[in-house]
Amino acid sequence: MIGPGTGVRVYLACGATDMRKGIAGLAALAQDQLRQKPSSGAVFAFRGRKGDRLKLLYWDGQGFCLYYKVLERGRFPWPSAGDGAARLTSAQLAMLWEGIDWRRPDWGAPPARVG
């Protein structure tokens, strides 16, 4: 994915967002709902009601970038609206973008030690 790279702050707007919103509307949500400055260099993630659409808003220093992805099958994993906002690492953002459940990736547990 073209974008901010590693080490960036990532904020999720929990619950559903109206996917008709563009850059100005999403920047207002970042300011009002997430209590963050939209041009801070952080990535702001928003998911639609059906769960198959994801928008990422990012200020690259020159202007806003808006990334939009629609899954053909499945849903993006997402916290409930009651959680308000969530903070992710750049690695969790990469998993989210690929549709992987960043909350509990299935990498398998290490073998139990007998001793």
Span 54-99, pLDDT tens digits = 999 999 999 999 999 999 999 998 887 776 788 998 888 988 888 8
pLDDT at 49 over 60: yes
Instruction: Enumerate the H helices of 57-99 as residue ranges.
Output: 90-97
21 pLDDT tier (thresholds 50, 70, 90): very high
Q: Tell me, what's the pLDDT at 110?
A: 61
Q: Tell me, what's the pLDDT at 83?
A: 67
pTM score, whole prediction: 0.83
11 pLDDT tier (thresholds 50, 70, 90): very high
Burial bucket for residue 106 (CB in 10 Å: 0-12, 13-18, 19+): exposed
More confident residue, 67 or 105: 67
Helix, strand, coil % over all residues of the chain, rounded to 5: 20, 25, 55
Residue listed under structure tokens 């690695």: 91
What's the mean pLDDT in 38-58?
95
H/E segment holding residue 10: strand 10-13
